[in-house]
């Protein structure tokens, strides 16, 4: 499968009324990263590797599928195996994984969850997002972008 086709993969497959593709999600994630990251790094932009990963991180879902967040929390071994499978699928697509520092991996995870949170609230997806909101606030504070996130999302 080619990356552009993989980008058309539907996200939120366990919630059929939600309409978002992987490409839509990636684009929103890159935008959030480029708007929030400089606030925590004296105006500097993220590395090319982090931007690359943000723009491609879910392409493997076209083959492996999108395991819902609550299931990932309940079945950590399966979630880890799926992440590894996604990396292999990406490699087969010609979009290999670019290693990230631990801090960059935190940024990717943070932005990925933040975009999902924003999307879910924009479409009035009724679920218990309070634990995610709490985690986002804590992680934004730890990453140094709390004020920028508040302006971006709730400002």
pLDDT of the residue at 110: 98
pTM: 0.90
Which of 114, 143, 132 lies closest to 41 in space, CA to CA?
143
Distances (CA, A) of 110 to 37, 54, 79: 11, 11, 17
Which of 123, 94, 113 lies closest to 16 in space, CA to CA?
123
Spatial distance between the Cα atoms of 43 and 7, rounded to a whole number of angstroms: 30
pLDDT tens digits in sequence order for the chain, 155 residues long: 777 777 777 787 777 777 889 999 999 999 999 999 999 999 999 999 999 999 999 999 989 988 888 888 899 999 999 999 999 999 999 998 899 999 999 999 999 999 999 998 887 767 778 889 999 999 999 999 999 999 998 87
Spatial distance between the Cα atoms of 10 and 60, rounded to a whole number of angstroms: 12
Residue 67, domain extent: 3-154
Total number of domains constituting the chain: 1
Would you give the DSSP letter of residue 153?
A: I
């Amino acid at each position: 499968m080619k990356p552009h086709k993989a980008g058309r993969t539907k996200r939120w497959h366990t919630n059929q009324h939600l309409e978002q593709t992987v490409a839509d999600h990636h684009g929103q994630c890159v935008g959030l990263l480029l708007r929030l990251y400089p606030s925590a790094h004296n105006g500097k932009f993220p590395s090319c590797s982090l931007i690359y990963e943000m723009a491609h991180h879910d392409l493997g879902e076209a083959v492996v599928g999108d395991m819902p967040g609550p299931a990932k929390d309940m079945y950590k071994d399966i979630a880890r195996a799926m992440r590894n499978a996604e990396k292999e699928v990406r490699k087969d697509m010609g979009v290999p994984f670019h290693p990230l520092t631990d801090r960059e991996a935190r940024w990717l995870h943070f932005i990925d969850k933040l975009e999902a949170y924003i999307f879910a609230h924009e479409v009035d997806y009724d679920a218990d997002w309070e634990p995610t909101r709490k985690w986002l606030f804590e992680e934004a504070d730890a990453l140094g972008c709390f004020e920028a996130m508040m302006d971006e999302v709730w400002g």
